[in-house]
Amino acid sequence: MTDAPKPAIVVVSAQHADQLVDEFGRYARDYEIAKARSVDEAISVTMSLTRRGVQVAMFVSDSRLPDSLAPTALHMLRSLVPTSRRVLVAPWEYFREDSVAFRPALAKGKFDAFLLMPRGLRDEEFHLAIVELLNEWGASIAAPLVDSVQIVSPDSRGLVLAIRDYLFRIGAPSRVYPPDSEVGRAVVEAYDGEPTWPLIRVFSKDEIVAPTSVRDVAMSIYGRPDEIDVETVVDVVVVGAGPAGLATAVYASSEGLGTIAIESEAIGGQAGTSSMIRNYLGFPQGISGTKLAQRARSQALRFGTRFFTGWPVTGVKTGVDGEPHVVCTEGGDVRARAIVIACGVDYRKLNIPSVDEYVGRGVNYGAAMTAAREMEDYDVLVVGGGNSAGQAAVHLARFARTVTIVVRRPDLSATMSQYLIDEISFNPRITVRGNACVVDGGGTDTLEWVELESTLDGSRERVDVRGLFLLLGAEPRCEWMPPDVMRDEKGFVLTGRDVPMEHWIDGCPPASLATSVPGIFAVGDVRAGSMKRVASAAGEGASVVALVHTWLEPTHWRSEAPGGGERPRVTRGA
Ligand SMILES: Cc1cc2nc3c(=O)[nH]c(=O)nc-3n(C[C@H](O)[C@H](O)[C@H](O)COP(=O)(O)OP(=O)(O)OC[C@H]3O[C@@H](n4cnc5c(N)ncnc54)[C@H](O)[C@@H]3O)c2cc1C
């Protein structure tokens, strides 16, 4: 814990201020509850809070205010504190009318939630929405009050940033402490040896790690695949723990299959880097990709999935004559009766050496949630015109002074969803620069400038920026796969009827999510013809488990296993 002042929740209402303050009383231990009866008063309350160094976590506004339209008021208040969450509360008598009137503003992201004013004690529906927003706010701010991982380092760039990003994505709040701070001195003292930076203490364990890579941190948390007994054959190994792999893990382990998920980076995949997924079924206020991934991981763990993160699968030896397949990693091999490939896609690289040199020092592939938080009051560029670029820009605008989206096309209309285009056009910090591309960049220690070239006339302009976020689309990650797993010309894995006929067995195509190798399945973005959405990836992960079950049926195995005949005795479970 720290001595930092409590963050605040600011309630704005002329008619219901006392009722709302009373309702928020249950949060008073952790938050200062401030009250204002008009927007003008809310502005001065907010300014006096920020002058005292108090972070404003949330504005809660009545849907009817005396001096402004409520969505406009929330928007104005947010420009004072961009990281805050904004909730609009309507009393029952206006709820229907206001929900119709304010729905377009909610869709454009002018506020985060539209709730019915609590009408009695213990309105837990109301508080569930509030707690989720506060939880999400807590995960997005730079210095969480609670840390489960302490990082000691004189600076927070390069490896430290990558480690913090990994920890953020697995839901472990971290803080960086200078070596001469109280925590820093305690960690250095507990370390057995000459300290190198960073030093890391995980979950208050006595063991201090001096990592040279993110994998060292992952290993200290999750272990290595070779911890599994070499004799053990698991039912299913899932390669990749994005939405598709996580869904496979949840359904496979919930149905009693011994399941191992191997992930090269942090759990969550691309979705884990998304600041807010708004179109996933069942989350009306949206959900951050990290939260969704953490919940899915907990669900899979509860059913018995074992995860290994930080270990890319480097190859698969396909089993012949009824032998299991072998999944290889640098941390050991795992033998499996079935494999589900859920390894998604990877960001396309810019391939400009002068810019790539600054990766981790201002240049980031993807939305890079931790790096985004370090952009407070700086100018940043987002390159790319897809939805992921739009989301990254909206997230960055919470911190950065200005965000410029750079696209080769004249505008975003052909590549981005309309709801994001609306949100971006409404956000005063974000501008779109069409017909342009990045051609050069540089700085002394960190990125300080990039050069943009016009795609119309080739003219160049140098702009000063501290952050460059590259969201250039993605391609499948298949170099590790055995060649008998067939892929299309772009590298996506072929399944079902897309597998060429000459590879069908007895004239029958593989099942819909089965590849050209019996017992190996593919789901999610890596699969040719997939939807490239969180929901469809999760749906495929759930669906594939039925096919895995069929494959694992002893009768099926005996009659169709390569080579036929009896299979060796295999044990279920890891
Ligand atoms: C910033 C951003 C925002 C997005 N927003 C939305 C949205 O709002 N709504 C929506 O529906 N979709 C959204 N998408 C798309 C969505 O995230 C993807 O469609 C979805 O994540 C695909 O899931 P997946 O599990 O198939 O693959 P991925 O999410 O790509 O996960 C694959 C996982 O496999 C791991 N992996 C790769 N190779 C190996 C290997 N050799 N060994 C072990 N592990 C490996 C990767 O590290 C990764 O974690 C967004 C994407 C991005 C990048």
Residue that wins the pLDDT comparison between 303 and 568: 303
Helix or strand holding residue 107 (H, E): helix 92-107
pLDDT (average), residues 201-224: 81
Q: Choose the residue to mutate in 238, 278, 316, 534 for probing ligand 1, maximizing ligand atoms within 8 Å of C-beta.
A: 534
Q: Tell me the CA–centroid distance for residue 58 and ligand 1, in Å.
A: 30
Cβ proximity of 273 and 384 under 8 Å:
no
Q: Residue of the nearest CA to atom 35 in ligand 1? A: 240
Does 262 sit in the ligand 1 pocket, CB within 6 Å? Answer: yes
Strands 149-152 and 199-202, sheet pairing: antiparallel
Q: Tell me the CA–centroid distance for residue 242 and ligand 1, in Å.
A: 5
- Give the three-state DSSP class for 118: coil
Q: Tell me the CA–centroid distance for residue 247 and ligand 1, in Å.
A: 12
Within 8 A by CB and 6+ apart from 329, the residues are 225, 262, 308, 311, 312, 313, 314
* Model pLDDT, residue 568: 38
Check pLDDT > 80 for residue 141.
Answer: no
Q: Tell me the CA–centroid distance for residue 436 and ligand 1, in Å.
A: 27
Q: Which long-range contacts (CB under 8 A, 24 or more apart) does 310-314 make?
A: 310/214, 310/215, 310/217, 310/218, 310/219, 310/222, 310/263, 310/264, 310/265, 311/215, 311/218, 311/224, 311/225, 311/262, 311/263, 311/264, 312/264, 312/480, 313/239, 313/262, 313/264, 313/343, 313/480, 314/480
Omega into 198 within 30° of 0, i.e. cis? yes
Q: Tell me the CA–centroid distance for residue 237 and ligand 1, in Å.
A: 18
* Model pLDDT, residue 2: 52
Q: Residue of the nearest CA to atom 37 in ligand 1? A: 343
Check pLDDT > 80 for residue 204.
Answer: no
What number does the ligand 1 atom closest to the CA of 343 have? 34
Cβ proximity of 210 and 191 under 8 Å:
yes
Does 215 sit in the ligand 1 pocket, CB within 6 Å? Answer: no
Q: Tell me the CA–centroid distance for residue 463 and ligand 1, in Å.
A: 32
What number does the ligand 1 atom closest to the CA of 367 have? 1
264-273, 517-526, 555-564: which has the minimum mean pLDDT? Answer: 555-564
Count other C-beta atoms under 10 Å from residue 310's C-beta: 25
- Give the three-state DSSP class for 550: helix
Helix or strand holding residue 463 (H, E): strand 460-464
Does 240 sit in the ligand 1 pocket, CB within 6 Å? Answer: yes
| Dist. CA 231–CA 339, nearest whole Å | 17
Q: Tell me the CA–centroid distance for residue 141 and ligand 1, in Å.
A: 24
- Give the three-state DSSP class for 236: strand
Q: Tell me the CA–centroid distance for residue 301 and ligand 1, in Å.
A: 20
Q: Tell me the CA–centroid distance for residue 89 and ligand 1, in Å.
A: 35
* Model pLDDT, residue 457: 95
Among 152-166, 326-340, 352-366, the range with the most confident prediction by mean pLDDT is 326-340
pLDDT (average), residues 202-221: 81
Does 269 sit in the ligand 1 pocket, CB within 6 Å? Answer: yes
Does 530 sit in the ligand 1 pocket, CB within 6 Å? Answer: no
What number does the ligand 1 atom closest to the CA of 269 have? 49
What are the pLDDT digits (tens) for 122-140? Answer: 899 899 999 989 988 887 7
Count other C-beta atoms under 10 Å from residue 25's C-beta: 10
Backbone angles phi, psi at 514, to 5 degrees: -95, 145
Does 239 sit in the ligand 1 pocket, CB within 6 Å? Answer: yes
Does 218 sit in the ligand 1 pocket, CB within 6 Å? Answer: no
Question: Per this entry, what is the length of the chain?
Answer: 574
Does 387 sit in the ligand 1 pocket, CB within 6 Å? Answer: yes
User: Torsion angle, CA of 131/133/137/140, rounded to 10 degrees?
Assistant: 120
Check pLDDT > 60 for residue 572.
Answer: no
Q: Choose the residue to mutate in 237, 274, 281 for probing ligand 1, maximizing ligand atoms within 8 Å of C-beta.
A: 274
108-112, 144-148, 335-339, 397-401: which has the minimum mean pLDDT? Answer: 144-148
195-209, 296-310, 385-399, 468-482: which has the minimum mean pLDDT? Answer: 195-209
Q: Tell me the CA–centroid distance for residue 246 and ligand 1, in Å.
A: 11
| Dist. CA 180–CA 192, nearest whole Å | 18
Q: Tokens standing for 484? A: 């008998």
Check pLDDT > 70 for residue 112.
Answer: yes
Does 279 sit in the ligand 1 pocket, CB within 6 Å? Answer: yes
Q: Residue of the nearest CA to atom 30 in ligand 1? A: 344
Does 68 sit in the ligand 1 pocket, CB within 6 Å? Answer: no
| Dist. CA 529–CA 527, nearest whole Å | 6
199-203, 407-411, 510-514, 543-547: which has the minimum mean pLDDT? Answer: 199-203
Does 12 sit in the ligand 1 pocket, CB within 6 Å? Answer: no
* Model pLDDT, residue 143: 62
pLDDT (average), residues 510-529: 96
The number of C-alpha atoms within 13 Å of 572 and in the hemisphere containing its C-beta is: 11
Check pLDDT > 90 for residue 78.
Answer: no
Q: What is the largest CA-CA distance in the chain?
A: 81
* Model pLDDT, residue 561: 35
Q: Tell me the CA–centroid distance for residue 14 and ligand 1, in Å.
A: 45
Q: What mean pLDDT, rounded, does the chain reach?
A: 88
Q: Tell me the CA–centroid distance for residue 534 and ligand 1, in Å.
A: 8
**Please, which pLDDT band fits residue 144 given cuts at 50, 70 and 90?**
low
Residue that wins the pLDDT comparison between 109 and 3: 109
Q: Residue of the nearest CA to atom 48 in ligand 1? A: 269
* Model pLDDT, residue 157: 73
Q: Tell me the CA–centroid distance for residue 271 and ligand 1, in Å.
A: 5
Does 367 sit in the ligand 1 pocket, CB within 6 Å? Answer: yes
Amino acid (one-letter) located at 453: E
Among 105-114, 211-220, 467-476, 509-518, the range with the most confident prediction by mean pLDDT is 509-518
Q: Each residue of 181-196: b (16+ CB within 10 Å) or e?
A: eebbeebeeebeeeee
Helix or strand holding residue 199 (H, E): strand 199-202
Counting residues of the chain whose pLDDT is more than 90, the rounded percentage is 58
Residue that wins the pLDDT comparison between 109 and 57: 57
Strands 363-365 and 467-470, sheet pairing: parallel
pLDDT (average), residues 204-215: 81
Does 271 sit in the ligand 1 pocket, CB within 6 Å? Answer: yes
Cβ proximity of 88 and 11 under 8 Å:
no
Whole-Å CA distances, 366 to 2, 101, 278, 359: 32, 35, 18, 11
Counting residues of the chain whose pLDDT is more than 70, the rounded percentage is 93
Does 118 sit in the ligand 1 pocket, CB within 6 Å? Answer: no
Within 8 A by CB and 6+ apart from 391, the residues are 274, 275, 276, 367, 420
13-17, 70-74, 491-495: which has the minimum mean pLDDT? Answer: 70-74
What are the pLDDT digits (tens) for 291-333? Answer: 899 899 989 988 999 999 889 999 999 998 779 999 999 989 9
Q: Residue of the nearest CA to atom 27 in ligand 1? A: 344
Q: Give the residue from 109, 342, 312 showing the smallest Cα distance to 247.
A: 342
Does 391 sit in the ligand 1 pocket, CB within 6 Å? Answer: yes
Does 200 sit in the ligand 1 pocket, CB within 6 Å? Answer: no
| Dist. CA 40–CA 46, nearest whole Å | 10
| Dist. CA 487–CA 398, nearest whole Å | 41
pLDDT (average), residues 424-442: 95
Q: Residue of the nearest CA to atom 8 in ligand 1? A: 277
What number does the ligand 1 atom closest to the CA of 346 have? 30
| Dist. CA 328–CA 539, nearest whole Å | 27
Q: Tokens standing for 375? A: 């952009």
Whole-Å CA distances, 54 to 9, 21, 46, 258, 514: 10, 18, 9, 49, 55
390: left (phi over 0), alpha (psi -120 to 50) or beta: alpha
Q: Tell me the CA–centroid distance for residue 526 and ligand 1, in Å.
A: 9
